[in-house]
Structure 1
Amino acid sequence: MIGLVGIVVTFAMVFGGYLLAGGKLGVIMHSLPYEMMMIGGAAVGAFLLSNEMSVIKQSLGGIGRSVKGPKWHEQDLQDVLCLLFQLLRIARANPVELEGHIEDPANSPIFQTYPKILADAQAVELIADTLRSASLNYDDPYQVEEMLSQRIGLMNEEAMHAPHALQNMADALPALGIVAAVLGVIKTMSAIDQPPEVLGKMIGGALVGTFLGVFLAYAIVAPFAQRLQAVMKQDQSFYDVIKSVLVAGLHQHATNLCVEVGRQSAPEHVRPSFGDLENALRDLKRAS
Structure 2
Amino acid sequence: MLTIGGLVFLMLCVFGSFMASGGAIGALIGSMPFELLSILGAAIGTFVMANSMPELKHAVGGFIKTIKGPAFKKTDYVDLLSLLFFLVKLATTRGAMALEPHIEHPESSSAFGKFPKISANHHVTVLICDYLRMVGMNADDPHQIDDVMARELKKILNEELHPAHALQTMADALPALGIVAAVLGVIKTMSHINEPPSVLGEMIGGALVGTFLGVLLAYGMVAPIASRLRSIIIEESKYYELIRAVLVAHLHGNPPQVSVESGRKMVPSEHMPTFQDLETALQAIEMT
Equivalent-residue separation in structure 2 for 1:120 and 1:236 (angstroms): 14
Structure 2: give runs of 5+ residues left out of the alignment: none
C-alpha separation between the residues in 2 aligned to 1:83 and 1:11? 46
Deviates more, 1:181-190 or 1:260-269: 260-269
Q: Are 1:236 and 2:225 matched, yes or no?
A: no
Q: Which moved more, 1:99-108 or 1:260-269?
A: 260-269
Which amino acid is the alignment partner of residue 253 of structure 1? Answer: N
Check conservation: 2:142, 2:248, Cα contact below 8 A.
yes
Residue identity opposite 1:174 in structure 2: P
Give the paired residue count: 287
Partner of 1:59: 59
What is aligned with 2:16? 16
Task: Report what 2:278 is aligned to.
Answer: 277
Contact 2:97 2:136 in 1 (8 A): no
Measure, in 1, the Cα distance between the counterparts of 2:36 and 2:287.
Answer: 63
**1:223 aligned partner:** 224
1:199 equivalenced with 2:200 (yes/no):
yes
Partner of 2:119: 118
Secondary structure (helix, strand or coil) at the match of 2:140 reads coil
1:72 corresponding residue in structure 2? 72
1:157 aligns with 2:158: yes
C-alpha distance in structure 1 between counterparts of 2:28 and 2:118, whole Å: 49
Give, as a single letter, the amino acid of the residue that structure 1 aligns with 2:181. Answer: A
Are positions 1:34 and 2:34 aligned together? Answer: yes
SS of aligned partner of 2:265: helix
Identity %: 46
Is the aligned partner of 1:185 residue 2:186? yes
**Structure 1 equivalent of residue 140 of structure 2:** 139
* C-alpha contact 2:145 2:248 (8 A) present in aligned 1: yes
Per-residue deviation, 1:97: 3.0
Paired residue type of 1:207: L
Taking only aligned residues, the RMSD between alpha carbons, in angstroms, comes to 0.8
Q: Letter of the aligned partner of 1:83 in structure 2?
A: L
Amino acid corresponding to residue 43 of structure 2 in structure 1: A
Cα offset, 1:125, TM superposition: 1.1
> Within 1, Cα distance between the matches of 2:195 and 2:246?
75
Structure 1, gaps ≥5 residues long: none
User: Distance in 2 between the 1:182 and 1:96 partners?
Assistant: 70
What is the Cα deviation at residue 286 of structure 1? 2.0
TM-score by length of 2: 0.98
